[in-house]
A and B are shown apart, each in its own frame.
Chain A
Amino acid sequence: MGNKSSLFLRSEEIAQIQDETGFTPNQIERLYSRFTSLDRNDCGTLSREDLMRIPELAINPLCERIVHSFFAESTDDRVNFRQFMNVLAHFRPLRDNKQSKLNSREEKLKFAFKMYDLDDDGVISRDELLSILHMMVGANISQDQLISIAERTILEADLCCQGKISFEDFCKALDRTDVDTKMSIRFLN
Chain B
Amino acid sequence: HHKTDRYPLSQVEFARVKTPFIIGIWILSASIAKIGFHMTPKLHLIFPESCLLIVVGVVIGVVLYFCTDVAVSPLTPNTFFFYMLPPIILDAGYFMPNRLFFDNLGTILLMAVVGTIFNIATIGGSLYACGLCGMFGDESATPRLLDVFLFASLISAVDPVAVLAVFEEIHVNEILYIVVFGESLLNDAVTVVMYHMMEVYNEIGLPNINAQDIASGVGSFFVVALGGTAIGIIWGFLTGLVTRFTDHVRVIEPIFIFVMAYLAYLNAEIFHMSGILAITFCGITMKNYVESNISQKSHTTVKYALKMLSSSAETIIFMFLGVATVNNKHVWNTAFVVLTITFCSVFRVVGVIFLSAIANRFRLHKLSRVDQFVMSYGGLRGAVAFALVLLVDENVVKQKDMFVTTTIAVIYFTVFLQGITIKPLVEILNVKRAQKRKPTMNERIHERFMDHLMAGIEDIVGKTGNYNVRDKFKRFDNRFIRPLLIRDLKGAEPKIIETYSKLTMRDAMEVMRRNPSTI
**A-to-B contact residues, CB < 8 Å:** 31, 34, 37-38, 51, 54, 56-57, 59-63, 66, 70, 88, 91, 93, 95, 112, 115-116, 129, 132-133, 136-141, 145, 148-149, 152-153, 156-157, 170, 173-174, 176-177, 179, 181-188
| Given A51-B460, A136-B496, A174-B443, 11 additional A-B pairs, CB 8 A | A91-B454, A112-B453, A139-B492, A148-B500, A152-B503, A170-B442, A174-B442, A179-B450, A183-B454, A185-B457, A186-B465
In this assembly, does B203 line the interface, its C-beta being within 8 Å of a C-beta of chain A?
A: no
Which residue from B446, B467, B491, B503 sits with its C-beta under 8 Å from A173? B446
Which residue from B362, B453, B461, B496 sits with its C-beta under 8 Å from A137? B496
Contacts A60-B455, A174-B446; A95 near B366 (Cβ below 8 A): yes
Which residue from A93, A141, A187 sits with its C-beta under 8 Å from B490? A141
Contacts A177-B443, A184-B364; A61 near B452 (Cβ below 8 A): yes
Flag if B435 contacts A176 (CB, 8 Å): yes
Q: Which residue on A lies nearest to B483, using beta carbons?
A: A140
27 contacting pairs across A/B (C-beta < 8 A)? A51-B460, A56-B455, A56-B472, A57-B460, A60-B455, A61-B492, A62-B449, A62-B453, A62-B456, A88-B461, A93-B365, A112-B449, A112-B450, A136-B448, A139-B492, A140-B489, A140-B492, A141-B490, A141-B491, A152-B441, A170-B442, A174-B442, A176-B443, A179-B450, A183-B453, A185-B458, A185-B467
Q: How far is the CA of A139 from the CA of B456 in the complex (A)?
A: 21
Q: Which residues of A contact B500 (CB under 8 A)?
A: 148-149, 152
Q: How far is the CA of A188 from the CA of B504 in the complex (A)?
A: 44
Q: How far is the CA of A128 from the CA of B63 in the complex (A)?
A: 72
The 6 closest A-B pairs by CB, nearest first: A173-B442, A66-B456, A141-B491, A57-B459, A56-B459, A153-B441
In this assembly, does B475 line the interface, its C-beta being within 8 Å of a C-beta of chain A?
A: yes
Flag if B443 contacts A185 (CB, 8 Å): no
- B contact residues, total (Cβ < 8 Å): 46
Q: Which residues of A contact B454 (CB under 8 A)?
A: 91, 182-183, 185
Contact with A along B448-491 (1 / 0, CB 8 A): 11111111111111110101100110010000000000000111
Contacts A62-B452, A95-B366, A112-B450; A185 near B475 (Cβ below 8 A): no
Q: How far is the CA of A77 from the CA of B437 in the complex (A)?
A: 43
Q: How far is the CA of A91 from the CA of B459 in the complex (A)?
A: 13
Q: Which residues of B contact A183 (CB under 8 A)?
A: 450, 453-454
Q: How far is the CA of A153 from the CA of B449 in the complex (A)?
A: 14
Flag if B445 contacts A133 (CB, 8 Å): yes
Flag if B461 contacts A31 (CB, 8 Å): yes
Q: Which residue on A lies nearest to B437, using beta carbons?
A: A176
Q: How far is the CA of A40 from the CA of B453 in the complex (A)?
A: 24
Q: Which residues of B contact A187 (CB under 8 A)?
A: 461, 463
Q: How far is the CA of A182 from the CA of B454 in the complex (A)?
A: 8
